[in-house]
């Protein structure tokens, strides 16, 4: 469905834009229809930059993004609008997506004016009510309220419902639940799992391995802008091959083990398995280590 091919993003930095920062380096992976792909990496690894390039909020320095085989970079006007009907994003901080002086209804009104201007108002409101119920909200409790009168979880669900009004095929969920409390998190995660069952593809961007594991069929591990490992989530999580993935997994707190034991377990595993070199500055290539499981190794 959506394919990233050798995607690279270089930012100009510093005074007079004299510096260069390669935030995303030659990244390739696919997001299949009806699947959740987790994009996992530490802060600054380039996850949001990839999400923003998919949503066309940032230009691509090199490489391509294709939706159903079509390069998205040249899309304009009606074609771009069509793209946004299929691909939408929901971001970390639900509060910043709303203007506090307007009622939340405005989110839907803006959408109507751009995409559904010809639809009869009562038909439109029926549609809004249907999606609000779909994401577990009571329209009568939500419509007519100001953002400060609603919880973070409710605001996040409204943003998801907004995406669903467009019948999107792909949702880019960037740290969607990081700012929510534990119980609301589970509700929103379960909502995403339900939407997945209905055929929605999701790119689930997270620094939290356990969240990535909970939801996704496929995992892509990012380190300093490079993909270091990717494949079926269970294979990446239970048979990690790259040194960085091993390290990342060992940093997940466990209730049944002390930190030092986990560290030494992983060290044994890393040593025993001869995990691949973490230095990613050199040229590297993705090697299939087992079916549907790839790891970056340094090119000789
Ligand atoms: N507009 C920009 N101009 C210059 N550098 C940027 C810009 N946006 C991001 N960067 C840099 O690119 C790198 C990747 O940033 P990005 O936001 O994609 O990381 P991330 O993995 O999403 O991190 P986080 O989990 O903290 O959000 C970082 O070093 C960041 O400082």
Which residue's CA is minimally distant from atom 17 of ligand 1? 48
> How crowded is residue 133: how many other Cβ atoms within 10 Å of its Cβ?
12
More confident residue, 284 or 10: 10
The rounded Å distance from CA 17 to ligand 1 centre is 16
Quick: pLDDT tens for 54-93.
999 899 999 999 999 999 998 998 899 889 889 988 877 6
The rounded Å distance from CA 43 to ligand 1 centre is 8
Helices (H), 135-258: 139-142, 152-165, 182-197, 209-215, 233-238, 243-250
Whole-number pLDDT of residue 156: 83
The rounded Å distance from CA 229 to ligand 1 centre is 20
Cα–chain center distance at 242: 22
Question: What average pLDDT score do residues 117-141 get?
Answer: 89
Lowest mean pLDDT among 68-77, 166-175, 276-285: 276-285
Whole-number pLDDT of residue 179: 67
Interface confidence, given as ipTM, is: 0.97
The candidate with the shortest Cα–Cα distance to 162, out of 187, 194, 144, 137, is: 137
Indicate if ligand 1 lies below 6 Å from the C-beta of 207. yes
Of ligand 1's atoms, which has the minimum distance to the CA of residue 49?
Answer: 18
**What is this structure's pTM?**
0.85
* Domains of the chain, CATH where assigned: 2-224 (3.40.50.300), 240-300 (no CATH)
Indicate if ligand 1 lies below 6 Å from the C-beta of 94. no
Whole-number pLDDT of residue 229: 94
Of ligand 1's atoms, which has the minimum distance to the CA of residue 207?
Answer: 25
Indicate if ligand 1 lies below 6 Å from the C-beta of 240. no
Q: Is 162 helix (H, G, I), strand (E, B) or coil?
A: helix
The yes-or-no verdict on residue 280 having pLDDT over 60 is: no
């Amino acid at each position: 469905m959506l394919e990233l091919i050798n995607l690279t993003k270089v930012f100009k930095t510093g005074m007079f834009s004299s510096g260069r920062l390669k935030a995303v380096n030659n990244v390739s992976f696919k997001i299949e229809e009806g699947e959740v792909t987790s994009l996992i990496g530490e802060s600054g690894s380039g996850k949001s930059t990839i999400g923003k390039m998919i949503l066309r909020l940032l230009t691509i320095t090199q490489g391509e993004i294709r939706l159903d085989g079509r390069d998205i970079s040249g899309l304009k006007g009606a074609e771009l609008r069509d793209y946004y009907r299929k691909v939408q994003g929901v971001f970390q901080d639900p509060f910043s997506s709303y203007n506090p002086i307007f009622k939340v209804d405005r989110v839907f009104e803006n959408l109507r004016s751009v995409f559904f201007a010809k639809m009869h108002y009562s038909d439109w409101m029926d549609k809004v009510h249907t999606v609000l119920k779909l994401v577990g909200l009571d329209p009568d409790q939500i419509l007519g309220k100001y953002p400060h009168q609603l919880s973070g979880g409710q605001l996040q669900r409204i943003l998801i419902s907004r995406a669903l009004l467009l019948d999107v095929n792909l949702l880019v969920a960037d740290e969607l639940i990081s700012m929510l409390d534990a119980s609301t998190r589970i509700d929103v995660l379960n909502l995403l799992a339900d939407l997945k069952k209905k055929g929605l593809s999701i790119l689930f961007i997270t620094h939290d391995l356990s969240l990535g594991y909970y939801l996704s069929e496929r995992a892509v591990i990012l380190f300093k802008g490079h993909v270091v490992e990717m494949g079926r989530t269970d294979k990446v999580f239970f048979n990690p091959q790259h040194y960085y993935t091993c390290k990342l997994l060992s940093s997940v707190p466990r209730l049944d083990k002390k930190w030092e034991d986990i560290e030494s377990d992983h060290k044994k595993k890393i040593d025993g398995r001869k995990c691949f070199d973490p230095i990613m500055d050199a040229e590297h290539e993705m090697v299939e280590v087992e079916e549907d499981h790839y790891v970056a190794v340094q090119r000789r």
